[in-house]
Amino acid sequence: MNFESLQQRWQQQETRSEVKVDACLILQEVRRNHRSFQAMIFWRDFREVGAALFVAVFIIFHGRDWTDWLLAVAGSSVGIFLLRDHLRQRKQRPRASEDLRLYVQHSLDEVRHQSWLLRNVLWWYLLPLMVPMLISNAVQADTVRQGVRQSVVIVVMAWLIYKLNQHAVRKQLVPREQELERLLAGISEDSSINPAVGILEQP
Amino acid sequence: MTPHEQESIFRRWLSEHQGLLRRVVKSFAASAADQEDLLQEILLQAWISLPSFRGDSKETTWLYRLAFNTAMVWQRKEQRRRVKHEAFSSLIGEEPTSPDGTADALIERLYEAIRALPKPEASLALMLLDGLSYREMGEVLGISENHVAVRLHRIRKQLAEQLKGLES
Q: Are residues B122 and B95 in the same domain?
A: no
Q: Are residues B6 and B85 in the same domain?
A: yes
Q: Are residues B60 and B78 in the same domain?
A: yes
Which of B100, B122, B139 is where one domain is finished? Answer: B100
**Which regions in chain B score pLDDT beneath 70?**
79-103, 165-168
Q: Are residues B116 and B85 in the same domain?
A: no
pTM here is: 0.76
CATH code at position B153: 1.10.10.10
- What pLDDT, on the 0 to 100 scale, is given for residue A190? 55
User: Tens digit of pLDDT per residue, chain A (203 long)?
Assistant: 677 888 888 888 765 444 555 667 777 777 777 777 777 767 877 776 777 778 778 887 887 788 888 888 888 888 888 888 888 888 887 888 888 888 889 889 989 999 999 999 999 999 999 999 999 889 888 899 999 999 999 999 999 999 999 999 999 889 989 988 988 888 876 544 443 333 333 33
Q: Are residues B16 and B42 in the same domain?
A: yes
Domain extent at residue B66? 1-100
Q: Are residues B68 and B108 in the same domain?
A: no
Residues of chain A in contact with residue B160, where contact means CB-CB under 8 angstroms, are 3
Which of B79, B100, B121 is where one domain is finished? Answer: B100
Answer yes or no: are the C-beta atoms of A180 and A107 closer than 8 Å. Answer: yes
Q: Are residues B64 and B110 in the same domain?
A: no
Determine, for residues A194 and B150 on separate chains, whether the beta-carbon distance falls below 8 Å: yes
B54 DSSP 8-state letter: -
Which ipTM score applies to this complex? 0.75
Which of B40, B68, B100 is where one domain is finished? Answer: B100
Interface probe with A: pick from B140, B145, B150, most Cβ of A within 10 Å: B150
Q: Are residues B62 and B138 in the same domain?
A: no
Q: Are residues B33 and B93 in the same domain?
A: yes
Which among B66, B104, B141 has CB closest to A101?
A: B141
B105-133 residues labelled b (16+ CB within 10 A) or e (exposed): ebbeebbebbbebebbbbbbbbbbbbebe
* Number of domains observed in the structure of chain B: 2
Residues of chain B in contact with residue A97, where contact means CB-CB under 8 angstroms, are 49, 52-53, 62, 65-66, 69
Q: How far is B69 from chain A (nearest CA, A)?
A: 6
Answer yes or no: are the C-beta atoms of A99 and B139 closer than 8 Å. Answer: yes
Determine, for residues A193 and B146 on separate chains, whether the beta-carbon distance falls below 8 Å: yes
Q: Are residues B116 and B80 in the same domain?
A: no
Determine, for residues A29 and B96 on separate chains, whether the beta-carbon distance falls below 8 Å: no
Q: Are residues B108 and B94 in the same domain?
A: no
- What pLDDT, on the 0 to 100 scale, is given for residue B138? 92
- What pLDDT, on the 0 to 100 scale, is given for residue B126? 92
